[in-house]
Amino acid sequence: MRKLLCILVILAGALCWHMTRPDTIHEKVGGPARPASQETRTFPAGTPRPPEELPSSLQLVWEGWHIREIAHSRIPREDWVPLKQMSPWLPKAQVAVEDKRFYSHHGVDPDGIIRATLVNIQNDEVVEGASTITQQLVKNLLLTSDQSVKRKAAEAALALLVEARCSKEEILEMYLNTTFLGSGATGVKQASQVYFGKKPKDLSLPQAATLAGLPYAPTALNPYANWQGSKKRRNLVLNRMAEQDMITPEQLEDALNEPLGIGK
């Protein structure tokens, strides 16, 4: 396992270096030579930054290696919730709907890409994405949201690096604490209060499923603005949990019959 992790770190570093090299065309014409994946990035005050003397081509590698510190810098200390202090339904629901092989892959899931494509074609709409939770964490904290090939390649490379650096529990905790969930709420503590008036540890199964469905489209699925869409997404999360044996058929039926209970 240690040998595999070393290989992943080396591969991730090499890929990040390649994808963030200055554009050779810019160099030839005398234009600014900046890493393509960093051209439009902005950083909140207090975000850890690489040493100035570090070559720009290695800045993303440095950030991927220090993703824990970067994640904590994005959220007020009082809003950070350790995984053990969340409802156990929260991480289960998130994994079920976004990355069912989360605990078995190393940051990138080729099978997931194929599965997501087939599911979306079958449903004639985008029901799920192909990125793993680790890739989404990397995109949210370190990269821009553009869909260029270079950005996606850097995302995959950094996901490998983060998986070699952090445990699955750390990755899931960072994701749940730093993801925007609509209504001005970032992270599960703010979202639990905004939508349910509760602490994350007190969320019920259907409430946890509601929050787990929001990262997909936090504005469009905002329960206050789109009650029906939010409930449909919640029910999809619950069905995924049942399909993966995280809940029993009886628990599924009870949860599906629960109202959203927003604002209560």
d(CA 24, CA 26): 5
Q: Both 125 and 208 in a single domain?
A: no
Instruction: Tally helices (H) and strands (E) across the chain.
Output: 13, 0
Pair 68, 2 in one domain: yes
Q: Which of 198, 200, 197 is nearest to 188 (CA)?
A: 200
CB 214 within 8 A of CB 262: no
Q: Are residues 113 and 200 in the same domain?
A: no
Domain count, the chain: 2
Contact present, 252 and 209 (Cβ < 8 Å): no
DSSP states of 180-205: B-STT-BSHHHHHHHHHSS-GGG--H
- DSSP state letters, 139-195: HHHHS-----HHHHHHHHHHHHHHHHHS-HHHHHHHHHHHSB-STT-BSHHHHHHHH
Q: What is the CATH number of the domain that holds 251?
A: 1.10.3810.10
pLDDT at 262: 86
Q: Tokens standing for 191? A: 């979202």
d(CA 161, CA 159): 5
* Structure tokens, 115: 């599965």
- What is the full per-residue pLDDT of the chain (264 aa) written as tens digits? 544 555 455 555 555 545 555 443 233 333 333 333 444 556 666 667 777 777 766 888 999 999 999 999 999 999 999 999 999 999 999 999 999 999 999 999 887 667 766 776 777 765 555 789 999 999 999 998 777 778 788 899 999 999 999 999 999 999 999 999 999 999 999 999 999 999 999 999 999 999 999 999 999 999 999 999 999 999 999 999 999 999 999 999 999 999 998 865
Do 223 and 187 belong together in one domain? yes
Assessment of whether the complete model's pTM goes beyond 0.85: no
Q: Determine the residue type at 240.
A: R
Could you tell me if residue 95 is inside a domain? Answer: no
Instruction: Give exposure, 32-69, as e/b (b: 16+ Cβ within 10 Å).
Output: eeebbbbeeeeeeeeeeebeeeeeebbbbbebbbbbbe
pLDDT at 11: 53
Q: How far is residue 205's CA from residue 69's CA, in Å, rounded to a whole number?
A: 31
Q: Rounded to whole angstroms, how far apart are CA atoms 46 and 70?
A: 9
Q: Do residues 136 and 67 touch, judged by C-beta distance below 8 A?
A: no
**DSSP-derived 3-state class of residue 35:** strand
Per the domain annotation, does 134 fall within a domain? yes
Q: What angle do CA 230, 262, 245 make, to 5 degrees?
A: 55
Contacts 24+ apart (CB under 8 A), 34-40: 35/59, 35/60, 36/148, 36/150, 36/151, 37/143, 37/144, 37/150, 37/151, 37/154, 39/144, 40/144, 40/146
**Are 187 and 75 found together in one domain?**
no
Quick one: 159 and 46 in the same domain? yes
Q: Domain range holding 204?
A: 180-264
Same domain, yes or no, for 171 and 190?
no
Residue 155 lies in a domain: yes
- In this structure, the answer to whether residues 1 and 119 fall within a common structural domain is yes
168 and 245 in a single domain? The answer is no
* Per-residue confidence (pLDDT) for residue 12, from 0 to 100: 52
